[in-house]
Amino acid sequence: MNDDSSAAALAGSLRKELDRYPPDGKLPSSRVLVERFGVSPVTVSRALAALAAEGLVVTRPGAGTYRAAEPAGRPRTVDTSWQQVALTAEDPDAAPRVVDASAVLATLAAPPPGVIAFTGGYLHPSLQPEQALGAALARAARRPGAWERPPVEGLAALRAWFGREAGAGPAQVLITAGGQAALTTALRALAPPGGAVLVESPTYPGALAVARAAGLRPVPVPLDADGVRPDLLADAFAASGARVFLCQPLFQNPTGAVLAAGRRRRVLDLAHAAGAFVVEDDFARRLGHGGPLPPPLIADDPYGTVVHVASLTKATSPSLRIGALIARGPVVERLRAIQVVDSFFVPRPLQEATLELVGAPAWPRHLRAVAAGLRERRDAMLAALRHRLPALVPDPAPSGGYQLWLRLPDGTDETALTTAALRSGVAVAAGRPYFPAESPAPYVRVTFADTTGAEEITEGVRRFALALALTGEGEGTHSGRYG
């Protein structure tokens, strides 16, 4: 059990016992609570802080913790029926907005206790650089001016760090609150209201949610094992009039595909000919499993058509919400204006801590550990699939990222399968939300980053195979590409 869940359990126990104490009565000391419940002092501190936030207790420095003299006011109940009308009444001439975060929330939701998570999109705590992050945050807090307002574009040193890999200067970089915020800013800045935006099919559901919430129309461009197909990309530009193509050239989510060297320039030429921008979501740059990587697409861009999205979140911690937008030309000012209107700037302490992290000797060691950890987990999942479900093994296997994209037998009910899997004790993601239009075939995405290692992965695949058998899909499975 982690500290957060332990603190929540302790807070629940103390909450039930508060009636034993009179108003303004003193609770047992932290030392007594540590001994009684067998938890750490940190857990006790967090539990008491939670009760204080609810207005149930009051902490007095040097004196202890007391039951609040007056209970906190109960939440007021009001009639909100009118909101159903207000939230759906739109201008009939305007582009419809679809605000649906269900697919994103599904990847963020913690599975029930005892369920193995093949849905997580972040590193398991054992792979996160927790000590290095803590040390970086402590050093950052001691920096002069650490709590002063930063430049709205971000700290110059951090912008320079992100820009080097993309072959860009600091003036061409904006620091963002993670990759998702960068995608939101980019699509709002580049695509006209009600317009089309070309996306890979399948693609990251969070990008589809951003586009639809902005009133944009995602238009699918199919992939194969070498990334987006340039012939279909040309057709999509011509048919839709789109001015934006959103893609993931490196370890694409969910397929793991890498855009082939022979297609990179062709994609840029097609976008330039259409007068369009390419939004390059380079979220997996630091999630390779070892070996050389192609440079970012923006590094080979001769036109200024690429708007590059970088992020450190996937390779560190879900709470290090630091990313960057990199572009050339007047579009930088448009991106900057949208970001300032939305959020002003990224908090300076987080930027300072990031600089401390990436400048420390522990940083390259952490990246090597991530590569080794992901490679070991990928190999364990592939081995388990070959043993129990050989027809589902993807070909080729991804050389980076944190997921496998599994083609299911024709006619498989994804919803029934994911429900059966959850009942069997493993969480997997249905493939349907990854397609911007009709799905060409049934798929599931299984991730391995948020697992403890080979033993848990092997058990998770066993449970998944059981779910397939329970739904009648365990026999006759076959491999496939991307539809």
Using a 10 angstrom Cβ sphere, with 0-12 exposed, 13-18 middle and 19 or more buried, the burial of residue 436 is buried
Entry pTM: 0.84
| CATH code of domain 3-67 | 1.10.10.10
The type of residue at 97 is: R
How far is residue 78's CA from residue 73's CA, in Å, rounded to a whole number?
15
Strand partners, 244: 277
Q: Can you give the residue ranges of every domain in the chain?
A: 3-67, 102-126+364-470, 130-358
Strand partners, 279: 246, 307
| Bridging pattern class, strands 443-447 and 403-407 | antiparallel
Residue 185 and residue 178 in contact, taking contact as beta carbons nearer than 8 Å: no
Residue 312 and residue 346 in contact, taking contact as beta carbons nearer than 8 Å: no
Cα torsion 243, 249, 251, 257 to 10°: value is: 100
Per residue, what are the HEC states of the chain? CCHHHHHHHHHHHHHHHHHHCCCCCECCCHHHHHHHHCCCHHHHHHHHHHHHHCCCEEEECCCEEEECCCCCCCCCCCCCCHHHHHCCCCCCCCCCCCCCCHHHHHHHCCCCCCCEECCCCCCCHHHCCHHHHHHHHHHHHCCCCCCCCCCCCCCHHHHHHHHHHHCCCHHHEEEECCHHHHHHHHHHHHCCCCCEEEEEECCCHHHHHHHHHCCCEEEEEEEECCEECHHHHHHHHHHHCCCEEEECCCCCCCCCCCCCHHHHHHHHHHHHHCCCEEEEECCCCCCECCCCCCCCHHHHCCCCCEEEEEECCCCCCCCCCCEEEECCCCHHHHHHHHHHHHHCCCCHHHHHHHHHHHCCCHHHHHHHHHHHHHHHHHHHHHHHHHHHCHHHCCCCCCCECCEEEEECCCCCCHHHHHHHHHHHCEECEECHHHCCCCCCCCEEEEECCCCCCHHHHHHHHHHHHHHHHHCCCCCCCCCCCCC
End-to-end CA distance of the chain: 41
102-126+364-470 CATH, one of 3.90.1150.10, 1.20.1440.130, 1.10.10.10, 3.20.20.370: 3.90.1150.10
Strand partners, 311: 323
The type of residue at 434 is: Y
| pLDDT for res 101 | 76
The type of residue at 380 is: A
How far is residue 314's CA from residue 320's CA, in Å, rounded to a whole number?
9
How far is residue 119's CA from residue 111's CA, in Å, rounded to a whole number?
9
Strand partners, 429: 445
| pLDDT for res 480 | 42
Are 3-67 and 102-126+364-470 in the same CATH fold?
no
| pLDDT for res 19 | 86
How far is residue 59's CA from residue 66's CA, in Å, rounded to a whole number?
6
Per-residue tens of pLDDT for the chain, all 483 residues: 455 678 888 999 998 888 888 888 999 999 999 999 999 999 999 999 888 888 888 988 888 899 988 765 566 667 767 667 666 666 665 666 777 777 777 777 888 889 999 999 999 999 999 999 999 999 998 888 888 999 999 999 999 999 998 889 999 999 999 999 999 999 999 998 889 999 999 999 999 999 998 889 999 999 999 999 999 999 999 999 999 999 999 999 999 999 999 999 999 999 999 999 999 999 999 999 998 999 999 999 999 999 999 999 999 999 999 999 999 999 999 999 999 988 889 999 999 999 999 999 999 999 999 999 999 999 999 999 999 999 999 989 999 999 999 999 999 999 999 999 999 999 999 999 999 999 999 999 999 999 999 999 999 999 999 999 988 765 545 444 444
Strand partners, 228: 223
Interaxial angle between packed helices 41-53 and 3-17, expressed in degrees from 0 to 180 and rounded to the nearest 10: 60
The type of residue at 359 is: G
Could you give phi then psi for residue 463, rounded to 5 degrees?
Answer: -65, -40
Could you give phi then psi for residue 288, rounded to 5 degrees?
Answer: -70, 155
Token pair of 192 as six digits: 């006209």
How far is residue 279's CA from residue 187's CA, in Å, rounded to a whole number?
8
| pLDDT for res 449 | 96
Cα distances from 179 to residues 110, 318, 450, in angstroms, run: 21, 11, 19
How far is residue 390's CA from residue 97's CA, in Å, rounded to a whole number?
42
| CATH code of domain 130-358 | 3.40.640.10
| Bridging pattern class, strands 323-326 and 244-247 | unpaired
| pLDDT for res 483 | 43
Could you give phi then psi for residue 60, rounded to 5 degrees?
Answer: -115, 115
The vertex-296 CA angle with 347 and 311, nearest 5°, equals: 25
| pLDDT for res 481 | 44
Residue 106 and residue 415 in contact, taking contact as beta carbons nearer than 8 Å: no
Cα distances from 326 to residues 161, 177, 182, 299, in angstroms, run: 12, 14, 10, 11
| pLDDT for res 87 | 66
